[in-house]
Chains A and B, each alone.
Chain A
Amino acid sequence: MATHRAHTRVLDLDKVRAHTLPNGLRVRLLPDRSAPTASYYTFFQVGSRNERLGTTGISHLFEHMMFNGAAKYGPKEFDRVLESRGGHSNAYTSNDVTAYYEDFAPDALETVIDLEADRMRSLRLTAESLEQEREVVKEERRLRTENSIFGLMEEQLEALVFLAHPYRWPVIGWMDDIERITRDDCEAFFRTYYAPNNAAIYVVGDLDPDATLALIEGHYADISAGPRPAPVAQGEPPQRGERRAVVRYPAQAPALLAGWRGPAARSPDSAALDVLQVCLAVGESSRLRRRLVQDEEVAVSVSIGWGWRIDPGVFLAFLELAPKVKSARAEAMLWEEIDEVATKGVATAEVRRAQALLRSSVLHELATHHGVAHALGQAEALLGDWREAARALEHYAAVGPRDVKRVAAEYLDPARRCVVALDPEVKR
């Protein structure tokens, strides 16, 4: 049990080997032999923000297509080969990025590189596999959006917060667009966004950096660079008053979702909003949990979602209310609590509590090779520099009570809030 003061340095990035191939592919390798595993992440700089109406959801649908066969490893081979070598793989698509990973025993490294390079070089897009994945994605949408109360409400909220920006539509896309995406759309998408110059690879774990870099060069160097992707149109108009929506659904209890447009991830305010998030809703002693859940019993749960995004994102608050509570009553309390922080600020002790909890949460994330590889990729994709992965705690440590008050007042302005209320319909 060390008694030294909590330090802010959590990742030793001096050991990172960073290199860019002539075709633009960025490679970052971090050896760490503390566990006999390795994690391999490929980040493509494309997400729903790069889409347009008519083919919304293509980034996510395309993510599914990446597992359906390429020139060397044909249909059904990717996972089969990987699993037979003791590894596993998955991927996710967000508003900003599409990321693929493999976790595996170190002796499977070359196989993983071969599999990933094969699909970046020569993905095969067939009409048959597109139709199958389309059905799978429709089930995914039914699961996460149509039959999920939070999913239904979130879809409405994003469409209120953004009038013009592509963050307006859900990552999984509108059902009609999922139906409409063609093989040609996918081909064009692949050529533009899956070229090596739009990608970065992060390998962390039990590895030799020189040998790993040589393997990656050997497998990827002959893949041609692609065109530069079109910039994402900005131009979101300013919000001049509250926006509201009601979702009617036969639920057992009401719920409330509120959201405000925040800053871009690169803004220095992002870290202050993380601290605000913890002060408001992380832990039983946070302001909203104590007032709404414990003292007044209007809510059974309160959570805040402040996810960093490339362009200005959303700070949202989600309340699951007790069955007979009037939504308006809970809402009034929520506004009061936010107003309190925006006008009177928070105590130094609350900021310290938030910093301590954020430090633990960063340490948890960095406790695995997978977590470190992801943190490096996320930092580079959103902030432009993988080194930022090691600086999170410095940013949190620099936040003071005044910053928390300022960002609450600036971003959580009542005139710029959006509200989605769930109205549980009368049971039939």
Chain B
Amino acid sequence: MSAPITLPPIHRESLPSGLSVVIAQRPGVPLAAVRLVLRGGSSLDPPRRSGLAHLVALAARRGTRRRTGPEIDLAVESLGAEIGAGVDEDATYFGLSAPLEELPRCTDILADLATRPTFPPAEVKRLQRREIAALAHDLDEPSVVADRAMLAAAFGDHPYGHPPEGRVRDLSDARRADVVAFHGHHYRPSEAILVVVGKVEVSEVLSLVRRRFGAWRGPDGAATPVRAPAPPETQVVVVDKPDVTQSQVRIASPGFPRKSPDYVPGIVASALLGGGFTSRLMEAIRVNRGLSYGVRSRFATSASGGVFFVSTFTKVETTAEIVQVALDETARFAEEGPTGDELERTKSYLCGLFPLSLETHDQLAEKLADLALFDLPDDDVRLFRDRVRAVGPDECRLAARRYFPLERRVVVAVGPAKAIARSLERFGPVTVIPARKMV
């Protein structure tokens, strides 16, 4: 096997405000990757305000005391840089990719917009309108609709159950005061991590970060962790889209949080079932039956919970067949476990690909931000391959039994209800929802 995984020299420091700074020095293309990550994402959206955290992240770049939104856009892009903003269920992310020589100027802008946004009323209103309009286009993407329906069915009223981009009514009801209050309460240095990766001098980056982020203050106190989600009742959700010729399918069951000791065995079990081109699902569904172009399974993990899911699609006529094949394969796996060959191949596959996930500055910045966000040690990266290699057949089967969709499960199909709903009744009680309800 190839050389051991080594991380470049990493400098970690906390500013007096509590901001965690992580700097990784390494050669490569003359670009710098920066991530500013704040604990707290869409799970902090208040009731009937889904999409608020998302709106706040987008609105932050629409104006500060020193620059208008268009001035921020022009300044960043004229330097050949990009600043992205967004949220997931656990965190808010600002990503910056800049030419190395422009890092100071870009960091200045990033600090300005994340810590001192003014949320101009007209810009907030405009963003609200645009996000609502964008949801109409989401509704025309069957795979996006399927993902939204799966989250809602798997997590119900739990804060992980609503889409991070929000729903039309909630976005319409949000007021600027909600945006300002969310920012004032949740954007605090004590809950933030700043990661910088590139061929940088640590001392220069540190003095830059102290200058730009040093004055940032926020309310005291730590964020409240999100409660663990309850497992869903077994059910089938059909999202009715009468005109599609192909159904999007999701099969989900409760998973585990990112820090769970089941993480590595779970990854191995999932890769074996629905990872690469030789996974069991790929073989059963694509290779042997030609039912779909693609099928995969994965554990999506969060701070307080997670979900395991299989995602695929097939022509309308074979919707129930594909669900049945996926469930049969899943049950067989949980019953019999992996063969020795399969397990070795899957572990080699995961280990071989791992260095590719750390190749670019952006990838490394993301990995380091995740380590900090989930309080994981560097060993999580350094020892990942050893831990994968240590997974045995029993552990793998146990992970499958515990988390695969055997008893408690949600089946989602987006397609013409008239043609598919009845055929899915054998998988649980069926609810039909018109597609427009998904936004």
Contacts and interface: CB of A to CB of B under 8 A. Distances in A.
Nearest to A140: B293
Contacts of A4: 101
Contact of B101 (A2, A103, A133, A366): A2
A83 B2 contact: no
Interface in B93-144: 97-101, 103-104, 126, 129-130, 133-134, 136-137, 139-142
Nearest to A361: B80
Interface in B281-310: 283, 286-293
Interface stretch (B147-155, B344-352, B420-428): B344-352
B352 A251 contact: no
B243 A250 contact: yes
Contacts of A2: 30, 100-101, 199
A88 interface: yes
Nearest to B138: A252
B262 interface: no
Given A6-B99, A80-B345, A253-B136, A35 B315 contact: no
Interface residues of A, number: 78
B137 A285 contact: no
Nearest to B242: A428
A121 interface: no
Contacts of B100: 1-2
A128 to B, nearest CB: 11
Interface string B196-234: 000111001100000000000000000000000000000
Nearest to B2: A105
A86 interface: yes
A34 B31 contact: no
Interface residues of B, number: 74
Interface string A392-418: 000000000000000000000000000
Nearest to B201: A1
A300 B130 contact: yes
Contact of B276 (A35, A83, A103, A285): A83
Given A1-B201, A83-B349, A36 B3 contact: yes
B32 to A, nearest CB: 8
A35 B359 contact: yes
B315 to A, nearest CB: 6
A368 B360 contact: yes
B258 interface: no
A79 B275 CA distance: 12
A76 B130 contact: no
Interface string A155-190: 000000000000000000000000000000000000
Interface stretch (B42-50, B69-77, B156-164): B69-77
Contacts of B201: 1
Nearest to A359: B80
A320 B200 CA distance: 40
B10 to A, nearest CB: 17
20 contacts: A34-B27, A35-B359, A37-B355, A83-B346, A87-B349, A105-B352, A136-B286, A136-B290, A136-B292, A136-B293, A143-B293, A143-B313, A249-B243, A251-B140, A283-B73, A323-B133, A355-B80, A360-B82, A367-B28, A370-B356
